[in-house]
Structure 1
Amino acid sequence: MKFSVKNPKKTLHLVSLGCTKNLVDSEVMLGKLKDYTITDDAANADVIIVNTCGFIDSAKQESLNTIFNLHDERKKESVLVMAGCLSERYQGELQKELPEIDVFTGVGDYDKIDLLVHQKRSAFSNEVFLASDENERVITGSSYHAYVKLSEGCNQTCSFCAIPSFKGKLHSRTLESLVKEVKSLVSKGYIDFSFVSQDSSSFLRDFDIKNGLELLIEEVEKIDGIKTARILYLYPSTTTLSLIDKIADSKTFVNYFDMPLQHITASMLKIMKRGKGVEKLNELMNHMRSKPNSFVRTTFIAGHPGETVEDHETLCKYIEEFKFDRANVFSYSTEEGTAAAESKDLIEQEIIDERAEIIGEIIALTTQESLENEVGKTFEVYVDGESEEHEYLLSARKTLWAPDIDGEIYINDNELGENEQIKFGQIYTVKVTELAGDKLLATVIR
C-alpha cells in the first residue's frame, strides 16, 4: 500500500508491506513525520521509507525488490530508510550488504523515526514498539475505517513461524490505552474498526487475564459512535466458546471469525505445535458456523514437513465440507530458526506447490459458493467510492467483511431517487441482484 499528497515542503514517500499490523506501525511513522508532505513521486521525495515484511520468502523478496527499485530511481540527496520486520530479523547481514540504505531500523523505534531521519542514524531497540493512545497516527486508505493494534509479539511456538524470534513474547496494550485510542478515532469520524495483533485471542494473557478480548468487547460497546467492529487473527488454543458467544451477542462486533487453522489432522497439528486437538478445533469451528450471519475466514499451509498424502487429502476434504467463506493457502517455506527447519521430513518443492494449487482450487470454489449465497439477499454495506472498474459503478463492502481482503461489491443502481446523492464512507442497505465473475452487483434500496 502506498500513500500520497503534495506541497513545497519536504516530501516523504512511504511503502508499507506485509500485514495490517505493519500498516498501523507505518501510520505511527507518518504521524511522527507529519511535517513532511506525503508524495507518490518516489523519484523526487526527500525521504523514502520502506516498512518491510520478514515473514516468508516471497515477502522478504518483495521487501528487497522494493528497496532496490526505489534506490535506483531516487534523487541523490534523499534519505532511504529500511524499517520493520525484515530489517529487524537480519539487521547484521543487511547493514553489511546494503550500503545503499541510509537508515536501518527494526520493530522497536517507529516512534523515534523523526529523530533517526533527521540525524541519518540507524537504531535497533531491544524492546518491540507497542503503539499507545499517545501515538498520533495518520490513518491511511479510509475516511471511516481504522485498524487498532492490541498487542505485539506472540507466546505461541508454531513450528513454521519465526515471528516470536524477532518480535519477542506477547506484550499487550492496556485496556485503558485501547479505549482512549478508539474514542479519539471516533471523535475524528471513524466508525468501523478492525482489532489486530499476531494472536488476538491471547490479548491480556501476559497480565494473567484469560478473557481479555471479552473485556475489550464490553468496553468498546460502551463507546458512542461506533457502527461496526471485528477482530482479526484468533488463535485456536486461546479462543473459547465463551468468546465466540460474546462476539455473536455483541451489538457492535459483527459475527466475523478469522482463525488461521493451518491444518486439520491430529498428526499435523501436533507436528506444527498448534496446541489444540482435532475434536476441540471442530467444536470451535462448528460453534462459529452456528452463529447467525457468521462469516468464517482461515489460512492453511500446504506441504509442511511431515505432511503425508493422507494428511493432504484429509485437509482437502475438510475444506470442501466446511465451506469457508474465505481462505488462503501458503506453500510451506523453510524459515531459519524454526522447529520445522530442523525437520528431516522435508517435502519436495514441486509437491508442496502442487498441494497448494489443489487447495487453492477448492478454496476458489467455496469462496464462489459463499458469494453465490449472497444473491437475492438484502444487507448493509459501506460505500467506499467510485470503483476502479467503471465510473458509473460504486465500490462497496459488506459491513460484515474486513477491508481489502474479503471482496468488493459493485453498486450499479440506486432506488433512493434522483436527488439523493450516495455519500462515501456511509452505511446503506442494498439488495444483491447478481454475481458477475467474483463481484456481487447490488442496488441501493435505503
Structure 2
Amino acid sequence: MKSKTLQKNKVNIITLGCSKNMVDSEVLSGQLLANEIEVVHESTKRDHNIVVVNTCGFIDKAKEESINTILDQVQLKQKGKLDKVYVTGCLSERYRSDLEKEIPEVDAWFGTMELPLMLKKLEADYKKELIGERLLATPQHYAYLKISEGCNRTCAFCAIPLMRGGHVSKSMDDLVKEAEGLVKKGVKEVMLIAQELTYYGLDLYKKRMLPDLMHRLADVKGLEWIRLHYAYPHKFPLEILDVMRERDNICNYLDMPLQHASDKMLKAMRRQITRSETEELIAAVREKVPGLCLRTTLIAGFPGETLDDIEETKEFLQKHRFDRVGIFTYSHEEGTSGYELTDDVPAAEKERRAQDVMSVQQEISYELNQEKIGKTFKTIIDKKEAGRYLGRTEFDSVEVDNEVVIQSDAKLPIGEFVNVKITKAFDYDLEGEIVK
C-alpha cells in the first residue's frame, strides 16, 4: 500500500456504536501492532495518514453519525491530510453497494466479518495465533469480553442479524484464555457482551452454557468483577442467578432489555414473551439474588403504539422499580419485519413519549439513590476529573449507569477499589467519602 508520503504508515481507528464494535476495533489494533504497524484509537493529534472508521448501522441516529464521520475523514483526505480512508462495521456491511456509489472517495469498504481482507489491504498478515489478543481502547482496569457474535432472534425492530449474521459462540477455552490475558494487562473488571448472552453455547455445546462459562471466568485469578449485559428474557436460564449468588466476583447486576410492557406491543415486536411472564421472571430474579441491580431498555414509538401502551409502561416501571432504565425511540429499519408496518408515530411524538417514560424512571432512580445514603459500597476508581474522583459500585456499568463522585485530598490510584460511604444522592449519581 503505497502512500503519497514517505512517512511510515500510522493508522487511526474511529469507533462508533456499541461495545461490540469497540472490541472489534481492539482486535484490529492488536493485529496491526503485531504486524509492526503503528496504530492509535480516536487520536486528535492528526499525525496519522490512514483512518479506519468502524461504523454503526443500528438506528437512524447512529447511521447519520457514521456517515457524517466518514464524510469528515474524506474531507481531510481531499485536503491532503490523509492518504487513505477505509470503512468497516455494521453500516458498511449493510449498505456497502449504496455507499460505494455515494461516497466513492473511500478507498475500501469492509463488512463485519472481513478482518483478514482489511488487514491484507493494510499490508498486514492475519495472525490466527493472536485470537483473544487486543490493544485495549478502554482504561486499563476494565474491558469488554464478547462471548458470541450475531443473533438468531427475530425481533421485529432489530436489523442486527442482517449485519452480524446468526449466533456464533466463542469456545469457553478461548474466552478463559482471553480473560487471563486481559488480567495480565491490568484488567480487573470484564463486562460480558453479546447480542444475546443467554444463547451462549447452544451452537457449540448443544445447550445453554452461560452458567458454566461464568464459573470458569470466576476462577480466573485477579478478575474481581464480572458483569452481565444483554440477557434476553424469553427462556431465561435461571441457573445464571445461582452462579451469581455463589461467586463473589460476579456482580449482582443484570442487564435485561425488555423493550415494552404492553402485551400488544410485545407481540407486535415479536418478543416471544408476555407481560405476566416477564413479571414472573422479575420476581424469580429478585428472589434468587436479593439486592440485585436490574437494568432494562425500552423502545418508544413502535408502529401501532398508543398512549395507553405508554401509560401501561409507566405503570409497569412504577410497579417494578428498576434500578436502571434506558430508552430508545423506534427506528424504521428496512429488512426487518417491523418495516412492513406503517411507521405511524411521528418522530417528535416518539421523543415526547420517551421523555414521558424517563420522567417516571428519573423519580424512581432518585428515590432508590436516596436509600443508599449512609451505606458503604466497594467502589472502583475510573478517573479523576475537575479535581474529583469518579468511580462505580458493582451496581453500575461503564458510561450507562450511575457514577460515584468522591472528594479526596489523598491520591486515589485509578483502577483500584476503595470503600465509599454515600453522603449525597441525586437522580442518577451519588457522592461519597472514603472509609478506611
Distance in 1 (CA, whole Å) between partners of 2:86 and 2:400 is: 28
Cα shift readout 1:251-272 (whole Å, capped 9, x = no counterpart): 2211111011001122211111
| Structure 1 stretch displaced more, 242-251 or 278-287 | 242-251
Q: Cα offset for 1:399?
A: 3.1
Distance in 2 (CA, whole Å) between partners of 1:173 and 1:298 is: 25
- Number of the residue aligned with 1:254: 251
Amino acid of the residue matched to residue 153 of structure 1? G
Paired residue secondary structure (2:88): strand
Distance in 2 (CA, whole Å) between partners of 1:292 and 1:111 is: 46
Paired residue secondary structure (1:159): coil
Q: 1:200 to 1:409 in 2, by over 3 A?
A: same
Cα shift readout 1:28-77 (whole Å, capped 9, x = no counterpart): 11112222142723644211111100000000000011111222234525
Q: Find the partner of 1:408 among 403, 407, 429.
A: 403
Q: Which runs of 4+ in 1 moved over 6 A?
A: none
Q: 1:377 to 1:401 in 2, by over 3 A?
A: same
- Number of the residue aligned with 1:274: 271
Indicate conservation of the 8 Å contact 1:32/1:113, yes or no.
no
Indicate conservation of the 8 Å contact 1:81/1:104, yes or no.
yes
Indicate conservation of the 8 Å contact 1:13/1:41, yes or no.
no
CA RMSD of aligned residues (A): 2.2
- Number of the residue aligned with 1:424: 414
Distance in 2 (CA, whole Å) between partners of 1:273 and 1:282 is: 18
Indicate conservation of the 8 Å contact 2:26/2:134, yes or no.
yes
1:289 equivalenced with 2:291 (yes/no)? no
Paired residue secondary structure (2:407): strand
Q: Find the partner of 1:36 among 21, 38, 46.
A: 38
Indicate conservation of the 8 Å contact 2:198/2:210, yes or no.
yes
Q: Cα offset for 1:162?
A: 0.9
Matched length: 421
Q: Cα offset for 1:408?
A: 1.8
Q: Percent identity?
A: 33
Distance in 1 (CA, whole Å) between partners of 2:368 and 2:106 is: 46
Distance in 2 (CA, whole Å) between partners of 1:209 and 1:164 is: 21
Paired residue secondary structure (2:166): coil
Distance in 2 (CA, whole Å) between partners of 1:97 and 1:132 is: 38
1:223 equivalenced with 2:220 (yes/no)? yes
Amino acid of the residue matched to residue 101 of structure 1? V
Q: Find the partner of 1:106 among 101, 104, 111.
A: 111
Indicate conservation of the 8 Å contact 1:175/1:216, yes or no.
yes
Distance in 1 (CA, whole Å) between partners of 2:13 and 2:368 is: 36
Q: Cα offset for 1:93?
A: 0.5
Q: Cα offset for 1:364?
A: 2.1
Structure 2: which 5+ residue stretches go unaligned? 1-6
Distance in 1 (CA, whole Å) between partners of 2:97 and 2:15 is: 22
Distance in 2 (CA, whole Å) between partners of 1:339 and 1:230 is: 32
Distance in 2 (CA, whole Å) between partners of 1:112 and 1:184 is: 26
Indicate conservation of the 8 Å contact 1:42/1:70, yes or no.
no
- Number of the residue aligned with 2:13: 14
Q: Cα offset for 1:402?
A: 1.3
Q: 1:144 to 1:134 in 2, by over 3 A?
A: same
1:444 equivalenced with 2:434 (yes/no)? yes
Distance in 2 (CA, whole Å) between partners of 1:321 and 1:66 is: 42
Return the TM-score normalized by structure 2.
Answer: 0.91
Q: Find the partner of 2:172 among 172, 175, 186.
A: 175
Distance in 1 (CA, whole Å) between partners of 2:291 and 2:134 is: 33
Distance in 1 (CA, whole Å) between partners of 2:371 and 2:266 is: 31
Amino acid of the residue matched to residue 162 of structure 1? A
Distance in 1 (CA, whole Å) between partners of 2:246 and 2:279 is: 21
- Number of the residue aligned with 2:336: 338
- Number of the residue aligned with 2:48: 45
Distance in 1 (CA, whole Å) between partners of 2:418 and 2:348 is: 47
Distance in 2 (CA, whole Å) between partners of 1:369 and 1:288 is: 21
Distance in 1 (CA, whole Å) between partners of 2:307 and 2:16 is: 34
Q: 1:307 to 1:436 in 2, by over 3 A?
A: closer
- Number of the residue aligned with 2:94: 89
Paired residue secondary structure (1:194): strand
Indicate conservation of the 8 Å contact 2:132/2:175, yes or no.
no
- Number of the residue aligned with 2:122: 117
- Number of the residue aligned with 2:425: 435
Cα shift readout 1:256-290 (whole Å, capped 9, x = no counterpart): 11011001122211111101122221111122334
Return the TM-score normalized by structure 1.
Answer: 0.89
Distance in 1 (CA, whole Å) between partners of 2:58 and 2:266 is: 20
| Structure 1 stretch displaced more, 70-79 or 235-244 | 70-79
- Number of the residue aligned with 1:63: 66
Q: 1:248 to 1:306 in 2, by over 3 A?
A: farther
| Structure 1 stretch displaced more, 394-403 or 39-48 | 39-48
1:25 equivalenced with 2:24 (yes/no)? yes
- Number of the residue aligned with 2:321: 323
Cα shift readout 1:302-341 (whole Å, capped 9, x = no counterpart): 1111223322211111112222111111111100011111
Cα shift readout 1:61-113 (whole Å, capped 9, x = no counterpart): 00011111222234525211111000000011111111121121110123543
Distance in 2 (CA, whole Å) between partners of 1:346 and 1:340 is: 12
Q: Cα offset for 1:211?
A: 2.9
Q: 1:404 to 1:348 in 2, by over 3 A?
A: closer
Q: Cα offset for 1:141?
A: 2.1
Indicate conservation of the 8 Å contact 2:132/2:174, yes or no.
no
Paired residue secondary structure (2:383): strand
- Number of the residue aligned with 1:4: none
Cα shift readout 1:199-241 (whole Å, capped 9, x = no counterpart): 0111111235333111111111222111110110000114122
Q: 1:217 to 1:81 in 2, by over 3 A?
A: same
- Number of the residue aligned with 1:186: 183
Amino acid of the residue matched to residue 403 of structure 2? E
Cα shift readout 1:398-424 (whole Å, capped 9, x = no counterpart): 13321121132111136xxx6xx4221
Please show how residues 305-320 of structure 1 align to structure 2 within 5 Å: 305-320=303-318
Distance in 1 (CA, whole Å) between partners of 2:163 and 2:383 is: 39
Paired residue secondary structure (1:255): strand
